[in-house]
């Protein structure tokens, strides 16, 4: 009997204890440090904007989920800007996009009439039409009208410019049909001087997700990863400009690596002092 009580107590205790909260997602971003840009200037634009041309830059940004689950990712936020304000954003892709996240909504209205055998005010038998359910003897006739409503649209991708066209942003939301992990391409059309050969942009990437608590009421949105890139741009086909852009990218990568090494060294020194 004591063994049975002990077994039941253990089972009750394990069922009553809350399960550990799942690990929140963590994301790593990556993208090329050098991007070739092609001239896409239409003839009418060149005629109406002397001294300028349009170039297209395609940015491939990759993201890898290194912890947590994909379903807990909420959205990515990307910010692209020209630090020196030497590049003007004319167009971009993807545009703001809306999507129906649920199927069609169907509403149904029913009316019911009962045709029953009864006695009228003149005490003669006849067919009486009664509204609603009736306990009379007879046949019920039911009619219904179904209406299909379009499902509400929700924003799954938002994009636009800030700071008078010098900053571009993309906000990509996670949905069952729009998973975030992997590589995505973002296209920019920039206005530059006609003699433009090379420049650079800053790309800031952020991921946000859900950290689950023991009780869903206390779930919270948290940053899940971020990274900033300096990306060199150059005119496609201009070999000298490509060399300049690649050298700039190498110098910036070396600066970042040196900064990381200093931070790690300071952290190690502080840990030694603490010991």
Q: What distance in Å separates the CA atoms of residue 143 and residue 109, rounded to the nearest whole number?
A: 9
What are the two backbone dihedrals, phi and then psi, of residue 264, each rounded to the nearest 5 degrees?
A: -65, -40
pLDDT value, residue 255: 84
Where are the domain boundaries for CATH 2.60.40.680 in the chain?
Answer: 20-99+153-254
Closest CA to 77 of 176, 154, 184, 166: 184
Burial tier of 209 (Cβ tally within 10 Å: 0-12, 13-18, 19+): buried
Give the class (CATH, top level) of 20-99+153-254. mainly beta
**Cα–Cα dist 22/222, whole Å:** 14
pLDDT the model gives residue 17: 44
Rounded Cα gap, residues 113 and 247, in angstroms: 84
Spatial neighbors of 35 by CB under 8 A, at least 6 apart, are 57, 58, 59, 231, 232, 233, 234
Whose tokens are 């990274």? That residue is 227
pLDDT score recorded for residue 151: 57
Cβ proximity of 101 and 150 under 8 Å? no
Question: The pTM is what?
Answer: 0.69
The whole-angstrom separation of Cα 13 and Cα 25 is 30
Q: 129-145: buried (b, 16+ CB within 10 Å) or exposed (e) per residue?
A: ebeeebeeeeeeeeeee
**Chain position carrying tokens 């009962």:** 114
* pLDDT tens, residue order, the chain (275 aa): 566 565 555 555 544 444 445 789 999 999 999 999 999 999 999 999 999 999 999 999 999 999 999 999 999 999 999 998 999 999 999 988 766 655 555 555 555 544 444 444 454 545 445 454 444 444 555 555 665 655 566 667 899 999 888 899 999 998 877 788 999 999 999 999 999 999 999 999 999 999 998 888 888 999 999 999 999 999 999 999 999 999 999 998 888 777 766 656 655 554 544 45
Q: Cα–Cα distance between 22 and 32 in angstroms, integer?
A: 33
Q: For residues 270 and 71, is the Cβ–Cβ distance under 8 A? A: no
Q: Is residue 51 helix, strand or coil? A: coil
- Residue 255 near residue 221 (C-beta atoms within 8 A): no
Segment (H or E) for 10: helix 2-16
Radius of gyration of the chain (CA): 33
Whole-angstrom Cα distance, residue 73 to residue 78? 15
- At residue 6, the pLDDT reads 57
Angle at 132 between CA 131 and CA 137, to 5 degrees: 85
């Amino acid at each position: 009997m004591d063994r049975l009580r002990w077994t039941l107590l253990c089972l009750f205790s394990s069922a009553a204890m809350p399960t550990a909260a799942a690990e929140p997602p963590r994301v790593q971003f990556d993208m090329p440090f050098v991007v070739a840009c092609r001239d896409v200037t239409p003839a009418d634009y060149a005629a109406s904007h002397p001294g300028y041309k349009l170039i297209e830059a395609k940015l491939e940004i990759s993201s890898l989920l290194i912890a947590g689950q994909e379903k807990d990712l909420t959205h990515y936020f990307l910010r692209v800007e020209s630090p020196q304000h030497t590049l003007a954003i004319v167009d971009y892709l993807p545009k703001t996009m809306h999507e129906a996240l649920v199927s069609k909504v169907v509403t149904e209205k029913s009316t019911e009439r009962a045709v029953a055998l009864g006695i009228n005010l003149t005490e003669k038998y006849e067919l009486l039409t009664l509204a609603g359910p009736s306990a009379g003897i007879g046949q019920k006739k039911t009619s219904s009208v179904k209406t299909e409503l379009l499902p509400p649209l929700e924003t799954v991708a938002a994009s636009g410019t800030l700071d008078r066209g010098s900053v571009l942003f993309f906000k990509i939301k996670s949905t069952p049909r729009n998973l975030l992990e992997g590589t995505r391409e973002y296209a920019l059309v920039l206005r530059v001087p006609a003699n433009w050969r090379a420049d650079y942009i800053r790309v800031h990437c952020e991921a946000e997700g859900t950290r689950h608590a023991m009780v869903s009421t206390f779930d919270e949105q948290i940053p899940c990863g971020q990274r900033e890139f300096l990306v060199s741009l150059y005119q496609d086909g201009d070999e000298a400009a490509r060399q300049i852009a690649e050298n700039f990218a190498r110098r910036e990568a070396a600066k970042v690596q040196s900064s990381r090494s200093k931070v790690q060294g300071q952290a190690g020194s502080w840990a030694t002092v603490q010991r």
